[in-house]
Amino acid sequence: MSSDSNGNNRLILARPDRIGDVVITSSCFAPIKETLPDAEIYFLAHPRMEPLFRKHPALAGFIPLSQHTDAPRRMELLAAQMRKVKAGCIVHLHADEEVEWAAASAEIPRRIGFRAKGDKWLTESFPNFKKTGNKHEGYFNFDLLELLEVHPPAKLVPHITPDADAIERLAQKLPVGIVAGRYAVLHVGAHGEKPRIAPEFFIAVARWLVKERRLYVVLVSGDKDDETAAAILHGAGSSVSWIHNMCGQTDLAEMAFLLRDAAVVFGRDSGPAHIAAALGARTVTFMLEPEPENSARRWTPLGECSWVLEKPMTRGWFESRPAFARRNLSHFSEEEIVESVKFALEA
């Protein structure tokens, strides 16, 4: 890796992407430090990710993406932050033209990324094979890192360090009785317009957790007015008094500790599933779109207590994502879902 003008080996890892992708990327921090022990690693991501990496031992700093509404101004502000770091190299783990332009504008000598048409801002590139889904997303990062002679480990181990101050904030938000190990978390949301698990599956799981395990159930999502959460509360019957709706009420660090201390976490392949697995929580993840690009092979949450539900399928040529997800769901029964949660609790 090139040294900057001051002789420091400063490296920027850029992942301007979603929560799960960012958590997976943390599995490359340790291999980089093992290969390049003198490297100062700066992690560039969306500002809401920063509480997941507070005081991280492998990182020299966190570079937040600008949230300015004007695109040219966003890029200029980001370039200014990069100039302050004086990095010798940036690795673009997710293609983003604004970030790539900013790195070039900051005159970072070595700019590595995935090859695409018109890669005018990169100095080195590697073909992007991610859509094949032939290996885990974490290993695709090493397609680029191997250009720095950082080789993939035998096992991917994510490492996040949520802001410890969030523990007290979370405790103030939770009602009496919801304490570590005595509740389950159901992540009912999905990023953007992604398909969701049908409410009846969550209702079946929630009722079983309450009646058979006497566990409180906490619903989480990024949307305070989540429609799936409302449907669960409406259909939960006598179990509703044991269900607490926390949708849209936590930041990522608070969410992390809520997931960490749960008896079990259930939801679709999503950011919270990756956070939960990375922190060692018993995590059952429903792969709602199990075609190669979105399958468990590529997106399994990384953790010792992580299990996935998947029946590999092929999406039809003209089949929409919602229709494909519905067809996938039709292959599962409520009993099958409940049994998977039971297995995770007893494993």
Q: 117: burial class by Cβ within 10 Å (0-12, 13-18, 19+)?
A: exposed
200: in domain: yes
Write phi, then psi, for 198 (nearest 5 degrees). Answer: -65, 145
| Tally of structural domains, the chain | 2
Task: Decide if 274 contacts 15 (C-beta within 8 A).
Answer: no
Question: 192 and 119 in one domain?
Answer: no
CB 287 within 8 A of CB 195: no
Work out the average pLDDT over 255-280. 97
3-state secondary structure of 62: strand
Q: Which domain holds residue 81?
A: 10-148
Cβ neighbours for 28, distance < 8 A, ≥ 6 positions apart: 13, 138, 141, 142, 145, 150
The tens digit of pLDDT for each residue in 114-165 reads 998 667 899 999 999 999 999 999 999 999 999 999 999 999 999 999 999 9
Least confident of 61-65, 81-85, 215-219, 290-294: 290-294
The confidence score (pLDDT) of residue 309 equals 97
Residue 5, pLDDT above cutoff 80: no
Do 53 and 185 share a domain, yes or no?
no
Same domain, 246 and 327: yes
Q: Which of 114, 148, 182 is the last residue of a domain?
A: 148
Are both 234 and 304 inside the same structural domain?
yes
**Domain at 184, CATH number:** 3.40.50.2000
